Amino acid sequence: EVQLVESGGGSVQVGGSLRLSCIASGFPFVDSDMGWHRHAPGNECELVAEIASDGRTYYSDSVKGRFTISRDNKKNTVILEMNSLKPEDTADYYCAAGATQCTMVAGRPTSTYGYWGQGTQITVSS
């Protein structure tokens, strides 16, 4: 059974930091591209950061320079370090494996391929 379990969400003030973790199981993690997507009400689902199986990274323009994605293949874990948080970072954050895009259906992210976690909420207040 494939599982992606996120942790680390919560509330923080503007300018603060949070660290999201995602522990994966049930598929070949070391061979998988891993990403973090987010969705806020009224917005489309957005890929914010991705780390390929070879370690290459991608960041959306909205988080570049503030967020850092990393992976630990020995622990099947992907981390998203978030700094200088802004109110517009408020969203539900989802860990995904092998999914480069997402669409919200019935309140859940979906994609043609890939696996998804349950999500963790982040609220940034001023």
Please give the average per-residue pLDDT across 42-47, as a whole number.
Answer: 94
The model's confidence at residue 93, banded by pLDDT at 50, 70 and 90, is very high
Computed over every residue of the chain, the mean pLDDT equals: 96
Q: What is the mean pLDDT of residues 65-80?
A: 98
Q: What are phi and psi of 100, to 5 degrees?
A: -95, -10
pLDDT at 100: 85
For residue 102, is pLDDT > 90?
yes
Confidence band for 91, pLDDT divided at 50, 70 and 90: very high
**DSSP per residue over 60-126, as a string?**
-TTTTTTEEEEEETTTTEEEEEE-S--GGG-EEEEEEES-S--EEETTEEE-SS-EE---EEEEEE-
| Mean pLDDT calculated for residue range 89-108 | 94
Is the distance from CB of 23 to CB of 5 less than 8 angstroms? Answer: yes
